Structure 1
Amino acid sequence: MPVSSRTATVFDALDRPPRTEKTPEGVRVTVRLPVDRAAAQMAGHYPGFPILPGVLMVDCVRQAAGFAGGGELRLRSVDRARFSHPLLPGDEFELSLLVAPGEDGRVAVRARGTRGDGLTAAELSVTLEPVAGHA
C-alpha cells in the first residue's frame, strides 16, 4: 500500500507582532488574526461548515504568549476552555491575553477571543512551560 503524502501543516498565527503591555499582573498581549489564515486547517473541520478548530485557538494563545515572553513555550495543561461562538471564514479573531509568570518557569495565561462582531468566541486558561533549550 503506498504511503500517504499528506502531512500536518504547521499553523503560524502571528503574521505580525502582537501588541504587548507590561502591567503589575503580567504582560497583556493583543493579537488580531484573520481566520482565513487557517483555511487549510478549517477545510476538514467540519465538511460543508468550516470553523476554526479550538485546538488552533489554544495554539494561537501559546504562540502569542511565547512572543510576549521572548521564548518558545509548549502547552502543559488546558485548565479551562469555553468555546461559545464559532469562528467562520471571513471572521477576524482578536485574542487578548494576560500572561503571568508562575512556578518553576511555568507561565499562566488567561485569554479571551472575540469575533469581529464583538461576540466572545473563546475563553481559555492554560499553563505553558519553556521548551528546553529555547528559553
Structure 2
Amino acid sequence: MPLSSLYTITALDHTPNQITCTLQIDAAHAVFEGHFPGSPVLPGVVQLEMVKAVLSSALGKAFALKEMSTCKFLEVLNPTETPELTIHIQYKGDELLDVNASGKHSEKTCFKARASFHPII
C-alpha cells in the first residue's frame, strides 16, 4: 500500500536550516481501515515517514533514517478530526542531517523527534 497517496504537501517553506510544511491527510485512505476501524489514528511510523518525505521534497534528494535518538508521540492524530498537520524541521549538516522535528495540529504538538538522516546515493 503506497503511502504517497495518504497525504499531500499543501504548503512548504524552506530556509537554510529550517523547513515548515502543511500536509493534508486523506482520511479515506486504506491504512485507516486497520488502524483502527471506527477510530482512525495516523500511525506513528507514518508520521516519521512524513518527516523524511518532507526533507526529501525540500532538499531535492532522497534520505534514509540513520539514527533516532528520541521520539515522543504526544497526541492522537485522528484524520477525520485533524485533516491537516504542520511539520517543523530544524536541521544542520550537509551529508548527515541532524534533525529536530515536530508535528502540530491546531496548537497541539502531536509528536517530537530527534534523528539523523543521510542521503541515499
Query: What's the TM-score bracket when you normalise by the shorter of the two chains?
Result: 0.7 to 0.9
Aligned with residue 9 of structure 2, among 15, 19, 25? 15
Partner residue in 1 for 2:47? 57
For residues 27 and 114 of structure 2, the distance between their equivalents in structure 1, rounded to whole angstroms, comes to 24
Aligned with residue 109 of structure 1, among 93, 96, 99? 99
For residues 37 and 29 of structure 1, the distance between their equivalents in structure 2, rounded to whole angstroms, comes to 25
For residues 11 and 34 of structure 2, the distance between their equivalents in structure 1, rounded to whole angstroms, comes to 28
Q: What is the CA RMSD across the aligned residues, in angstroms? A: 2.0
Q: Which blocks of at least 5 consecutive residues in structure 1 are unaligned?
A: 1-7
Q: What secondary structure sits across from 1:86 in the alignment?
A: coil
Deviates more, 1:9-18 or 1:123-132: 9-18
Partner residue in 1 for 2:91? 99
Give aligned pairs, total: 118
Percent of aligned pairs with the same residue? 23
For residues 47 and 78 of structure 1, the distance between their equivalents in structure 2, rounded to whole angstroms, comes to 29
**Matches for 1:1-135 after TM superposition, within 5 Å:** 8-11=1-4, 13-16=7-10, 18-22=12-16, 27-36=17-26, 39-90=29-80, 91=82, 92-101=84-93, 105-115=95-105, 117-132=106-121
Q: 1:17: Cα distance to partner?
A: 5.7
Give TM-score, length-normalised by structure 2: 0.85
Q: What secondary structure sits across from 1:111 in the alignment?
A: strand
Give the number of the structure whose residues are more often strand, by fraction. Answer: 2
In terms of Rg, which structure is larger?
1
